[in-house]
């Protein structure tokens, strides 16, 4: 297989605020009214938390000071009753609001993550093959696991906590301004120190947390690769080297995590201790002003600096510092969550596979004179429906399986062409075989027929129609493919066969299995066609998996087949069954065969010998033997195919 893997083109990193704005709009799209209710409840809860300072001042003003001045309990009892009643009512409402918003946020968070995973998966299914060739599967899986988990913490915990702290801090800021501007300057100094420390430590912590997320994806990709290749690792005694390679990646992850948490763990204590310092500073300033008899200044005007003002202000300054500290405490979760959201949005922003085709495949009635009409019912015959934009007319072309390649050039990356001037002419019912060493370009040609990739130059015509004009779904539906590396999915054998044609009946699937020589071994299984396959059908042999994949292609009954021959590692008896199944599948169809054993392609109508992306020889078996060129040397054993 000739495939020069292109490095993924990294799109520019989204700005943090842009990611946050997009994330919030994404969440609001699904849960607008619930989130509005949540924010109202959080504001109510924040107000209840602040009210303790206000109630404390009211107790001093209405109860303690009057009692100190000789007032009787009877005179202040009513005020005390109202204060306690107001506090009780406020905290009951806050408790109800807190319970509501916490439960609602749990629903919103899990619901949002469900939608996000659905959107990611649905979009992933629309991405071109190139994306999966240039991104490790472990890295993609990390987006579904680590990044969504970081997003869960951000939405369920960090955003509500930050909103709560901001609301509380703003209200406290206004309240403190109404009590004393002089004391507020001392608070500003403490806030300034908090901001400087948070910026310095937080930025470094953020950088390492983002790096941690990236390396985590790399680590999972490596683990997935090692799990898939355990047999190879053990056969070649590569365990120690695999351990060393993993240790290297794991050390990178540990280093990034160590630095991230080192800075992250410093941030909260540093900010909180600055808050304590600010509290002491406010008390010292208040004491100096009080002792000096300085008039108090607030946004309401000049007044006396009383004990009530000082006590209330000190309590509010402590709450203010605590809320600022709570915001700083969420920085790490915010950074990780936004980094995860950025990676999720990168996946969602990947360009879907483009399809500008307008020629479609339809059921057709074909009269004796060759006239083709479209049918709503299945007729067993197909035609290409070709609308012409120039005059609005529609023509129909019978689906026969005539495929022609004219001077095709192609490269997986523009700067490296891997196919050069490839021309192939496959008439309906012909068998075309590709022969060549690994990397010669055999599989690349079949990828172009399916339009997994688009050619750089030249033309490919299908029944006389440029395949760029054919809708990709219809093009691929007209072709069957049997790969050397079979992919079977979790489910029953019957479901795996039906994968080739979702509306196929059980009888059609069984007939396809008989055609593929799979019916005999399937019926000997304990559950027969209802046998459940798990973990890439590891409970079946390689040959049995190949037979099921042939049955899957057979049930689709396409006019064109692409076959990657079974490898020589299959035992002789199973290989004979697989070949017999392939021969039955090829009958009456246009077939492209990637040959691994020359003995199986002697009856091909044309054999293409490829070398470094060029067709160096073409002809029938007898013609190529007579030429005594590369094919002759391969056939006689002078050269090896692989």
For the record, the structure tokens of 173 come out as 């800021």
How many Cβ atoms are within 10 Å of 287's Cβ, its own excluded?
11
In angstroms, rounded to a whole number, what is the distance separating the alpha carbons of residues 453 and 604? 26
- Name the token pair of 379: 């007729």
With left for phi above 0 and alpha for psi between -120 and 50, is residue 585 left, alpha or beta? alpha
For the record, the structure tokens of 397 come out as: 């072309």
Q: Are 445 and 419 in contact (CB under 8 A)?
A: yes
Residue 528 structure tokens:
């027969």
Q: Is the dihedral of CA 629, 633, 638, 642 positive or negative?
A: positive
Share of the chain above pLDDT 90, in %: 17
Task: Give per-residue pLDDT as tens, 297-347.
Answer: 666 666 567 777 777 778 888 888 888 878 877 877 888 888 888 889 999
259 sits in which H/E element: helix 239-292
Task: Name the CATH code of domain 16-349 (choices 1.20.1560.10, 3.60.21.10, 1.10.1060.10, 3.30.450.20).
Answer: 1.20.1560.10
Give, in order, the Cα–Cα distances in Å from 595 to each of 276, 440, 443, 610.
77, 12, 11, 11
- The per-residue pLDDT of the chain, averaged, comes to 82
Distance CA 552, CA 345 (A): 36
pLDDT band of residue 571 (cuts 50, 70, 90) is: low
- CA–CA separation, 51 vs 316, rounded Å? 10
Pick the CATH number of 403-636 from 2.30.30.280, 3.30.70.1900, 3.40.50.300, 3.30.559.10: 3.40.50.300
Which of these, 200, 195, 377, 382, lies nearest to 278 by C-alpha position? 195
Q: What is the dihedral of CA 87, 89, 94, 97, to 10 degrees?
A: -170
Residue 443 has pLDDT above 70, yes or no: yes
**DSSP helix/strand/coil, 561:** strand
Q: What is the pLDDT of residue 3?
A: 41
Q: Are strands 606-611 and 431-435 parallel, antiparallel or unpaired?
A: parallel
Name the band, by pLDDT with cuts 50, 70 and 90, for residue 568: very low
The kind and range of the H/E element at 361 are strand 360-366
Give the mean model confidence (pLDDT) for residues 412-435.
89
Structure token digits, residue 324: 């600022």
Q: How confident is the model at residue 8 (pLDDT cuts 50, 70, 90)?
A: very low
Query: With 60 as the cut, is the pLDDT of residue 641 above it?
Result: no
Give 565's pLDDT tier (boundaries 50, 70, 90): low
Q: Is 55 exposed, middle or buried (0-12, 13-18, 19+ CB in 10 A)?
A: middle
Res. 585 pLDDT band, cuts 50 70 90 = confident
What secondary structure letter does DSSP report for 469?
A: G
**Measured in whole angstroms, how far is the alpha carbon of residue 398 from the centre of its chain?**
40
Is the pLDDT confidence value at 638 over 60? no
Of 122 and 324, more confident: 122
The secondary structure element, H or E, covering residue 425 is: strand 419-426
Compute the distance between CA of residue 192 and CA of residue 185 in angstroms, rounded to an integer. 10
- Cut 0.85: pTM above it: no
Query: Domains of the chain: which residue ranges?
Result: 16-349, 360-398, 403-636
Residue 9, pLDDT > 60, answer no
**Segment 56-82, tens digit of pLDDT:** 777 776 667 666 666 666 766 777 777
Residues 6 or more apart from 5 whose CB is under 8 A from it?
133, 134, 412
199's enclosing H/E stretch is helix 181-228
569 has pLDDT over 80: no
Q: Are 606 and 435 in contact (CB under 8 A)?
A: no
Question: What are the structure tokens assigned to 23, written together?
Answer: 């994330």
């Amino acid at each position: 297989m000739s495939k020069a893997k292109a490095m993924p083109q990294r799109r520019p990193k989204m700005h943090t605020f842009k990611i946050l704005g997009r994330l919030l709009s994404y969440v609001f799209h699904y849960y607008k009214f619930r989130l509005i209710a949540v924010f109202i409840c959080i504001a109510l809860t924040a107000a209840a938390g602040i009210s303790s300072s206000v109630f404390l001042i009211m107790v001093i003003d209405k109860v303690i000071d009057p009692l100190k001045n000789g007032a009787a309990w009877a005179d202040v009892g009513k005020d005390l009753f109202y204060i306690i009643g107001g506090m009780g009512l406020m905290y009951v409402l806050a408790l109800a609001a807190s319970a509501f918003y916490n439960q609602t946020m749990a629903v919103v968070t899990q619901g949002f993550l469900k939608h996000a995973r659905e959107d990611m998966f649905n979009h992933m299914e629309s991405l071109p093959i190139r994306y999966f060739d240039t991104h490790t599967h472990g890295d993609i899986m990390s987006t579904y696991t680590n990044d969504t988990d970081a997003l869960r913490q951000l939405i369920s915990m960090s955003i509500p906590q930050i909103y709560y702290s901001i609301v509380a801090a703003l209200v406290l800021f206004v309240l403190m301004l109404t009590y004393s501007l002089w004391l507020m300057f001392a608070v500003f100094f403490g806030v300034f120190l908090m901001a400087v420390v948070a910026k310095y430590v937080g930025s470094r912590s953020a950088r390492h947390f983002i790096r941690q997320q990236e390396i985590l994806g790399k680590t999972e990709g490596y683990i997935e690769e090692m799990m898939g290749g355990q047999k190879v690792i053990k056969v070649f005694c590569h365990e120690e080297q695999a351990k060393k390679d993993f240790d290297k990646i794991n050390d990178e992850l540990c280093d990034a995590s160590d630095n991230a948490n080192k800075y992250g763990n410093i941030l909260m204590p540093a900010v909180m201790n600055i808050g304590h310092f600010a509290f002491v500073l406010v008390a010292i300033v208040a004491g100096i002003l009080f002792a000096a008899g300085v008039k108090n200044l607030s946004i309401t005007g000049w007044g006396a600096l009383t004990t009530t003002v000082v006590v209330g202000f000190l309590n509010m300054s402590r709450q203010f510092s605590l809320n600022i500290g709570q915001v700083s405490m969420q920085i790490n979760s915010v950074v990780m969550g936004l980094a995860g959201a950025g990676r999720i949005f990168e996946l969602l922003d990947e360009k879907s596979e483009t399809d500008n085709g307008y020629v479609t495949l339809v059921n057709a009635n074909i009269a004796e004179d060759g006239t083709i009409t479209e049918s709503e019912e299945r007729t067993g015959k197909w035609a290409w429906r070709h609308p012409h934009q120039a005059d609005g007319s529609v023509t129909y072309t019978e689906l026969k399986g005539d495929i022609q390649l004219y001077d095709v050039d192609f490269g997986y990356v523009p700067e490296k062409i891997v196919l050069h001037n490839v021309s192939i002419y496959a008439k309906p019912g012909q068998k075309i075989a590709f022969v060549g060493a690994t990397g010669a370009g055999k599989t690349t040609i079949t990828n172009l027929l399916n339009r997994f990739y688009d050619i750089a130059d030249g033309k490919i015509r299908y029944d006389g129609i440029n395949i760029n004009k054919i809708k990709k779904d219809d093009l691929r539906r007209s072709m069957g493919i049997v790969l050397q590396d079979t992919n079977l999915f979790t489910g029953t054998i019957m479901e795996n066969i039906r994968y080739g044609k979702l509306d196929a009946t059980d009888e059609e699937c069984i007939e396809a299995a008989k055609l593929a020589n799979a019916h005999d071994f399937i019926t000997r299984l304990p559950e027969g066609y209802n046998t459940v396959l798990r973990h890439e059908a590891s409970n079946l042999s390689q040959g049995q998996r190949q037979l099921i994949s042939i049955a899957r292609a057979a049930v689709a009954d396409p006019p064109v087949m692409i076959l990657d021959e079974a490898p020589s590692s299959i035992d002789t008896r199973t290989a004979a069954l697989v070949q017999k199944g392939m021969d039955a599948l090829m009958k009456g169809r246009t077939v492209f065969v990637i040959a691994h054993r020359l003995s199986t392609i002697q009856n091909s109508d044309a054999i293409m010998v490829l070398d470094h992306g060029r067709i160096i020889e073409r002809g029938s078996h007898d013609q190529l033997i007579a030429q005594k060129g590369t094919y002759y040397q391969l056939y006689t054993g002078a050269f090896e195919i692989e």
